[in-house]
Amino acid sequence: MVNHIRILNEFLELVRITSPTLSERGIAEVLKHKLEAIGLRVIEDRAGRSIGGNCGNLIASMPSTLTSAPVLLLSAHMDCVEPCREVNPIVVDNIVRSSGKTILGGDDKAGLVSILEALRVIQEQSIPHGEIQVVFTVAEEGGLLGAKNIDRSLLHADFGYVLDSSGSPGKIINKAPGENSLIFKIFGRPAHAGIAPEDGLNAIILAAKALSQIPDGRINEKTTANIGIINGGVATNIVPEAVEINGGTRSHNLTELQLITEKIMNIIERVVNEHGGKSQVTVLKLYDPYELTMDMQVMAIAEKAIRSLGWEPDIKASGGGSDANYLNYYGIPCANLGIGTQQVHTNEEFIEINDLYKTAELLVEIIRRTPYLL
């Protein structure tokens, strides 16, 4: 059904294109040409200007061949995490892997390739379909910035699928947490560490006392918290005046997300104040959680498509966010599908070639079933 040679060659082509977050112009121009060659009308929005990038999101449309059918959205992101420059993919034993000096970039170029192949197949085989909206986003790896700043007036799909989850084709992410970013600045008082340490108030020690009291790690089955970055101090002979702490909270429940965020904020402020210091707290809402139930069309069609191919659906919750979080927030029910990527965000990243084929096959089956909601 799908063209194996074409899929592999296109995947190798795309992973060789450098596309770090905020610098997706090169791959966007290639993808725009490919989409137009298939017959889609492509619009680039202005998200790049809003986030300091050199490119916006691509929103394309394939017209319906039917008089009445739901509008289906298919999405993947164009950017990759570093190191992603001069990627040299190695093909051995039906696996494509990184050379070890960079990531491979299957996250998310495997998603891009499967969407392109599915569009070609339905066209070549004259498969009836409703309108298909294609959304290729920028800056997903930078905190879903492309999806956050997308021109929402261009979106009108009834439901859709994001192609951006690790795990084998057949995996469906039906719920994912929301996330808050926490930035704490803690201020003490500088002094010479050898001559007059008693005149100082060590901001790093203040931070340590506060951090020792906050909840951390897995709070419960729905909620997690993490401190990821600490910066402070200028020299070992100076009592540090300031320290900055970056962390995050996540939860599948919006109320719990708010509660754990407020609890950590309150502990930091209280402990620092009790010891004579001062603090500034900034909370940035990154995205909301979403949950899709099995009676929703987006889930029912994906499950039936997977079973029709002889696979067993693997329906799971995710601990991380994706563009699906924002698309669901915008009122377009979207599930995140497994595309076969493994050990993503590392130089050991790889993908089985058969999973590239299987993801494209699944998309064709989803497109085939969508007009009839089967």
Which active-site residues does the annotation give? 79, 140
CB-based burial of residue 185 (10 Å sphere; 0-12 exposed, 13-18 middle, 19+ buried)?
Answer: middle
Q: How many helices and strands (H and E) does the chain possess? A: 10, 20
Contact 297, 371 (CB under 8 A): no
Residue 42 tokens read as 């492509």
Give the residue from 223, 218, 242, 222 showing the smallest Cα distance to 232. Answer: 242
- φ/ψ (deg, to 5) at 200: -100, 165
Question: How many CB atoms within 10 Å of residue 85?
Answer: 13
Question: C-alpha distances in angstroms, 6 versus 34, 69, 120, 121, 127?
Answer: 13, 29, 10, 11, 19
Contact 190, 235 (CB under 8 A): no
Contact 361, 1 (CB under 8 A): yes
Dihedral (Cα; 117, 333, 151, 179), 10-degree rounding: -110
CA distance 27 to 279: 43
- Calculate helix-pair angle for 106-124, 353-369, nearest 10 degrees: 50
